[in-house]
Structure 1
């Protein structure tokens, strides 16, 4: 891109810029307009002119005078969305391109729990979109087209991407919303136009025709959104037909720090000036004594309604305006303000001030353009061109993917998201099986067998092989003295926010626990007993009671498999994004994901879910089996002592209660415990033998075997995962991926090239980014040339995408 610097070129000052403004203002305005289309204004507010004023302040006439077009006029509000007008001096004839710039979406279902957008019910989009609507070749057609474009943005349910024919048939009236913050853009090109770009905003007002405050406040907030931007030159229309203090728009400027310093006041409707007193007040305004603005005031005179209806031209209106301000009635009352009177003086001042504002902002704008270029480079790194050696690239990606996932499974170097998640899963599973579901006994039954049913766990989906002990879930419990005081504390998984994966596997509730009653154990033992001798315990009865405690093991087992599948899927996804991120939009990326997740993961986790784990459950539930008699005997002895102590305490409590009733004296808990400790054997002799001693010993056998079986089952499931499932991922996934991607086939080169070939979306996005980068770099060179006072020859590529 050719840049020719002048000798001894130094940084361009504002004064230098003003001297060469005649040749550079067009370029300055053009560059800012194009940067706005590239979204730079979201990062740095680009220099612009905004026109504000009250309703009926003559703002529409002012816009028409500056832009030499006709805008919609109504008896009430006519401007219901921002109107961006870009004036370009050039071409052979007048033309206007009309577009819709959508920076906001309409919130149809607002969430009351989230903060409202400043322009509620409209909210800022993540990225703006510009939609071309039509091109107008005749000035007389523009007013109708503006109304149609405004209709389109006031009805957000209509898709703005319309054909020329569809747009031509849009109505010019009717609206779903009263106002919209989206912008109707007019690109007007004609010989001799001032090079200006400005925004016409809806006029502010005090009350809505429908009486609602929401509409009034929305327009106020919309106007404030524009005028608070630091690089904005504000054009304030103030009618001379009333007192200056009545201007609500002027009041909004006073509320925003620094707004008045960036403001040019424009006095409209000077022909409506009523009295000499008012003339003195307005002279003080022009002099900057009252209601001062940073750039002072101008006065303009626009044609009256009769002249407009008569078809007065722009040139005729300017001649009449000059005659009005040259009349004695004006010069006698307002002498010395000739350079601030008339639309042409205002146009020249606006062009000069806008150019000076742009030059002052150029360093920051150039810096932000470079930031945008860097962001494009970052995105392009994720969208590389297809490589020449596709087979080698695919092979390297698979090797990297396999190595990275192996490290995740093994956790050799350091704990990672997968290894940490699996550690929590198996820890919670162990707690569920060994602790949470460990059977317990209600030891409060002290007399003859009672007709009480055992409280059965909640109705989780259970094994079809149900226990014969299951009874209706109704009971009248007197004392719930659960002997399971030695339960482990619940395991709390590590907080999900501190790891890459969310572990959706919390410990089960005690609803899965099997709770026995002594009278029910007795009833079961009696039902199974075929001997005529008393207190005989049939082994089948004990087996049946033991197996009933394993009934809900499938619940935590299923939860373990589901949680494991989720973390493996997340690990595969994250590994793929880490190792093949730049190929995310290619067939290679989607095929690796499909083979690893939908094929390999589903098959092997499905085998664990449907085959291995059910087989381990079936073996445990078929028959109680163990050859570890030594450990079994130790557990039974420990559990017997545990339950006998609990029964002794329950029986002694009953004994003390009866004693207190007979003697009329109360034995304190401290005395009761002291007597149990000091005179245990004597107290036992007074109480007598436990009528449920047989049942207590059976319960000890149930618990003793449960400890062996639960630890064995937990170890088996862990072996199935770590010694089988993880081994398949470690040793078999890479081969399956190679087979699925045909890296060893006869047509491997062609197929791998197809895997890495871009899809249309990827190709189009890369082209768009490259074009946008070239445009921004082009603009940056031109802006630097303007800043340095150099000349820049615009290349043929221009700035157009």
Structure 2
């Protein structure tokens, strides 16, 4: 950017030549309407006064940039500015006073503790000053219009104190004296007082005898302080000078070596090529006659021979009033006279002054070049700023679009529409009618866990006298195929949904059961039969023995059912209260609270009724144990009885628990892998009377077992579990359509269907009528209640107001940028 204002000099050894080509007032915007501008220009005297029309244009541009900066998007806009940096007591305050024509606070040590932005404008016929505060959470005027220069210093103190003490009402500082300010900002007495702040104190000065300029005076770099304080100040300086369009004005005391200046090091880090850095040598009168080395060093720098210190925008030297001068209350004219005496008589400045180019000695020379430099940069930045403002305006419009619409004038209609939309969203969520099926998937996961838990409650019968020494026998192949068809395995019809990710069915079962299923062997079943036997005749197995064993697995279904219900309830509450209610009612907190209260009441009613319904489903599985699916029960009983007999008949020590071959893989005659069994079945089928014999029928040929009654009880109980767990068809599964098969389940469907129908759908489908009934829109006081319910969230209203105000300002900025001419 700066190439356009630095001239075309290619002589790398001439450090000062680029400064001589800085744009003067006559160079500004020379590409267009140059004749008109020439007519607008006035003489270029000591105070650099332009004619009133051109001065107004310059003032308009600076005001425009000031207002842009007040929007709070400095980094996005990168508005050209001048940042004054330097170490503590480097003469920054004196330089600011000389440029701005005012007095600033002075104290021992650091006196500038926050950025001070000075805007100097000549667009007025009388002198005045106003002080404002700008920051992340503040953008407001602080002082009244100040018409006496002598009052500015105290008002700046008050503004800086208000910034450093955010815990104190700012109004209190507007009437404080210097001593009161000193006490209020003593951080040793009040730990809430900040040592430094990023909040900006803006000093806007209208001075018809001044110049048009904007610069920011930053706190001085502190060489010796707490590491945290040193870092805070350095970070503040880095943040300002890192902006590509910021001119870095580095103040360096003449009696110091340039190599040792922290401020210059930070400037080089931010501006490695030295394209936008200006060196200002302060305290020019402090070089002693005998310091010939220092004199030569500064002479080389100003003449452009010190390549390591080369700056495209060069160096300036100033002699500013000392404390003694201020005590004597010297006038600006006297200050200029003292400075001229130094530059005329003191080396190396008298040698620098003799160079054949415009002087860079004195505050007047610095102002002469800074003002047109900044104005030229601002003019060049206008196209880029227009695009940036367009981007910010688009972002503001997008943010406004994300906010809820303003409340409608017809409050009753608005309220009804809100309720309708909310209830429709609840139904869409639980029905899975929209694109988001997450609720359905998570519901199925809970039902899958219930199914796995109930399936895991099956009796663990092991047909051995010492069952703990054997693994649990595998199920008969016909049962395995039936489970695969109905989705009991990993290929569940529930689609594999899981509450906690991809959990196996055994893991879900372990989570769902409150206690493990006990292993029962033949002796355990015999004990139950003996304990249940009363006056029965010999060879009669008491029915009580079977009911006792059936009750053992039926009672285990209560806890998984409760867990499933609680999970579904939590799921409904999460979607309703955490997602849907905020989505539809966040704009109106009173209405949101009312709706939540009514929802909780309504949901509790459905919960109580649905819980009772689930308990009834489980109670129907208690005594008497009953099924009309007799054919399936009988078929299943035969399968299990033959299975237990086969497993017992083929028991072998190598199949005990811990053997190298899994029991379920080796002991399974019904698998049909044995050649002898296949040959035996083929031989039997050759006999007409046994043409339908199968591998499972071979168990009937086994010799009578002394534990025959126990095996029968095992088969009866296990087959009834199969019926109660999932009632199956009384004809081959291959003939059963999948849709019908999915509806012949018993407990594993009855419980979920009850939960979903009575609780989930009952709550969702009756919600609209319930809410409208509670609103009672036909009552006499309905209008007042509706108005109260539709009071908008103050945060939303405030955010909308801020965005609309920002939009208005950006639109105004856009018009002003488009209309600006100079």
TM-score, L = length of structure 2: 0.71
Q: Which residue of 2 aligns with 1:246?
A: 260
In the alignment, is the contact (CA less than 8 A) between 2:198 and 2:236 conserved in 1?
no
State which of 56, 64, 67 in structure 2 corresponds to 1:34: 67
The structure that has the greater radius of gyration is 2
Q: Which residue of 1 aligns with 2:634?
A: 633
Q: Which residue of 2 aligns with 1:57?
A: 90
5 Å-filtered alignment, 1:453-492, equals 488-489=489-490
Q: Which residue of 1 aligns with 2:316?
A: 298
5 Å-filtered alignment, 1:446-595, equals 446-447=465-466, 488-489=489-490, 507=508, 509=510, 512=513, 513-518=516-521, 520-530=524-534, 537-572=541-576, 574=579, 584-585=587-588, 591-592=594-595, 594-595=597-598
Q: Number of residue pairs matched?
A: 695
Tell me: CA distance 1:575–1:14, structure 2 relative to 1, closer, same or farther (3 Å): farther
State which of 172, 185, 189 in structure 1 corresponds to 2:185: 172
1:236 is displaced (CA, Å) by 1.5
Q: Distance in 2 between matches of 1:14 and 1:148?
A: 47
State which of 736, 744, 757 in structure 1 corresponds to 2:770: 736
5 Å-filtered alignment, 1:302-381, equals 302-312=320-330, 316-327=334-345, 329=347, 330-336=349-355, 338-381=358-401
Q: Distance in 2 between matches of 1:667 and 1:769?
A: 74
In the alignment, is the contact (CA less than 8 A) between 2:636 and 2:719 conserved in 1?
yes
Partner SS for 1:507: helix
| Deviation digits for residues 519-566 of structure 1 (CA, Å, limit 9, x no counterpart) | 555544444444688897543343233333244434443343344334
5 Å-filtered alignment, 1:120-139, equals 128-130=137-139, 138-139=151-152
State which of 450, 453, 458 in structure 2 corresponds to 1:429: 450
Tell me: CA distance 1:442–1:782, structure 2 relative to 1, closer, same or farther (3 Å): same
Q: Which residue of 1 aligns with 2:50?
A: none
Tell me: CA distance 1:203–1:700, structure 2 relative to 1, closer, same or farther (3 Å): farther
Q: Which residue of 2 aligns with 1:191?
A: 207
Partner SS for 1:357: helix
Q: Distance in 2 between matches of 1:708 and 1:668?
A: 32
1:267 is displaced (CA, Å) by 1.6
In the alignment, is the contact (CA less than 8 A) between 1:587 and 1:755 conserved in 2?
yes
| Deviation digits for residues 190-211 of structure 1 (CA, Å, limit 9, x no counterpart) | 53454443333343456x445x
Tell me: CA distance 1:496–1:440, structure 2 relative to 1, closer, same or farther (3 Å): closer
In the alignment, is the contact (CA less than 8 A) between 2:105 and 2:156 conserved in 1?
yes
Q: Which residue of 2 aligns with 1:271?
A: 285
| Deviation digits for residues 52-105 of structure 1 (CA, Å, limit 9, x no counterpart) | 22344333333333344455555555544444444455585554425362x4xx
Q: Which residue of 1 aligns with 2:686?
A: none
Q: Distance in 2 between matches of 1:667 and 1:190?
A: 98
Partner SS for 2:256: coil
Q: Which residue of 2 aligns with 1:419?
A: 440
Q: Distance in 2 between matches of 1:398 and 1:782?
A: 46
Q: Which residue of 2 aligns with 1:46?
A: 79
Range that drifts further, 557-566 or 525-534: 525-534
In the alignment, is the contact (CA less than 8 A) between 2:587 and 2:792 conserved in 1?
no
Q: Distance in 2 between matches of 1:31 and 1:380?
A: 25
Q: Distance in 2 between matches of 1:653 and 1:533?
A: 40
Q: Distance in 1 between matches of 2:415 and 2:253?
A: 72
Q: Which residue of 1 aligns with 2:600?
A: 598
Q: Distance in 1 between matches of 2:657 and 2:241?
A: 87
Tell me: CA distance 1:716–1:768, structure 2 relative to 1, closer, same or farther (3 Å): same
Partner SS for 2:90: coil
1:131 is displaced (CA, Å) by 6.5
Tell me: CA distance 1:216–1:566, structure 2 relative to 1, closer, same or farther (3 Å): same
1:295 is displaced (CA, Å) by 2.0
1:166 is displaced (CA, Å) by 10
Tell me: CA distance 1:139–1:13, structure 2 relative to 1, closer, same or farther (3 Å): same
Q: Distance in 2 between matches of 1:585 and 1:655?
A: 69
In the alignment, is the contact (CA less than 8 A) between 1:325 and 1:331 conserved in 2?
yes
| Deviation digits for residues 594-622 of structure 1 (CA, Å, limit 9, x no counterpart) | 54x3343343244324x222333344356
State which of 239, 244, 247 in structure 2 corresponds to 1:225: 239
Partner SS for 2:220: coil
Q: Distance in 1 between matches of 2:229 and 2:64?
A: 35
State which of 301, 305, 317 in structure 2 corresponds to 1:285: 301
Q: Which residue of 1 aligns with 2:3?
A: none
Q: Distance in 2 between matches of 1:701 and 1:309?
A: 114
1:226 is displaced (CA, Å) by 2.1
Q: Distance in 2 between matches of 1:313 and 1:692?
A: 124
Partner SS for 2:252: strand
Tell me: CA distance 1:761–1:225, structure 2 relative to 1, closer, same or farther (3 Å): closer
Q: Which has the higher contact order (CA 8 A, sep 6+)?
A: 1
Tell me: CA distance 1:767–1:620, structure 2 relative to 1, closer, same or farther (3 Å): same
Q: Distance in 2 between matches of 1:766 and 1:242?
A: 54
Tell me: CA distance 1:653–1:238, structure 2 relative to 1, closer, same or farther (3 Å): same
Tell me: CA distance 1:730–1:344, structure 2 relative to 1, closer, same or farther (3 Å): same
Q: Distance in 2 between matches of 1:67 and 1:625?
A: 101
Partner SS for 2:321: coil
In the alignment, is the contact (CA less than 8 A) between 1:40 and 1:368 conserved in 2?
no
Partner SS for 1:97: strand
Tell me: CA distance 1:650–1:511, structure 2 relative to 1, closer, same or farther (3 Å): farther
Q: Which residue of 2 aligns with 1:502?
A: none
Q: Distance in 2 between matches of 1:91 and 1:507?
A: 85
State which of 99, 102, 127 in structure 2 corresponds to 1:66: 99
Q: Distance in 2 between matches of 1:184 and 1:144?
A: 13
Q: Distance in 1 between matches of 2:509 and 2:100?
A: 73
1:656 is displaced (CA, Å) by 13
Q: Which residue of 1 aligns with 2:687?
A: none
1:235 is displaced (CA, Å) by 1.3
1:697 is displaced (CA, Å) by 4.6
Tell me: CA distance 1:297–1:675, structure 2 relative to 1, closer, same or farther (3 Å): closer
Tell me: CA distance 1:567–1:655, structure 2 relative to 1, closer, same or farther (3 Å): closer
TM-score, L = length of structure 1: 0.73
Q: Distance in 2 between matches of 1:68 and 1:644?
A: 112
The root-mean-square deviation of aligned C-alpha atoms, in Å, is: 4.7
Partner SS for 1:260: coil
Q: Distance in 2 between matches of 1:28 and 1:484?
A: 89
1:26 is displaced (CA, Å) by 2.5
Q: Distance in 2 between matches of 1:668 and 1:717?
A: 39
Partner SS for 2:372: helix
State which of 788, 798, 811 in structure 2 corresponds to 1:777: 811
Q: Distance in 1 between matches of 2:437 and 2:561?
A: 24
Q: Which residue of 1 aligns with 2:15?
A: none
In the alignment, is the contact (CA less than 8 A) between 1:440 and 1:484 conserved in 2?
no
